[in-house]
Structure 1
Amino acid sequence: MKSETFLDFLPSNFRHEKSFFIKNNLTDFENLSNLSEQDINEIQRKSSLCTLNNLKKIRAIALFKKEIGISPPQAYLLLHCGISSIKSLSLSTPHELQSKIGRLERILKVKNETGTTYSLLKEWIKKASQIEKSI
């Protein structure tokens, strides 16, 4: 039985980035969340198939998981709703996020399976605000 890594949830359009990270033994969300802009540029230089946009998304998802405890699918959902950093999450309201998620579901004509409730969104925003205040 194969053990799951942080990267296993990524959709197929992240295949090049996932392949690069696996080859270079960077499968832990802790390591991925600590990637600097310089690291990302170096990865892109080494593997031209890795896109800057996807690398930054992976780092953002890893940061959400590390700092706030948001699962990768939930973090990916936040990215699709325009929330790409802890700061942008801290500046949001639960109602605004719930509205963005609902709009995304209507556009895609799907119901998300991530279990994002109003109270959970409120908790994420509270944690993000605490992190922002401590910086």
Structure 2
Amino acid sequence: MQACDIMVTNVICVDVDERLPDVRELMETNNFHHLPVTDKDKLVGIISDRDLLRLISPFINSVSEQPRDLDTLNRAAHQAMTRQPITVKADTPIEEILAWFKRVDISCLPVIDEEEHVIGIISWRDLITHATF
């Protein structure tokens, strides 16, 4: 079994200059936990819901909101993303994918082609879902 057998292929990516409010809305609307970040259609990073929680002030839209809280929304995806994410190819064996998840504290692996275009993504949830069938 290979990455292409379990990857999700309808991947939505965001541009490096996409603003965090738009990234957050896209994640919430689609119930995503990760979004690949691209520059000229090539993968340059990954942004997670945890990254957004860490960077966007929890006081936005509350009575305690301050101007500095709103400033956290002015950041771009490239300021919040993990750069040079670990990636796999479509023909990567499932054993290697499992090894990455065990060895490194990651929760998804983008699947790229030879030109570094995102063609899929595999999360730990995908592995569990596939293992239960």
TM-score, normalised via structure 2 length: 0.26
Of structures 1 and 2, the one with the larger relative CO (CA 8 A, separation 6+) is 2
When you count strand as a share of all residues, which structure comes out higher?
A: 2
When you count helix as a share of all residues, which structure comes out higher?
A: 1
TM-score, normalised via structure 1 length: 0.26
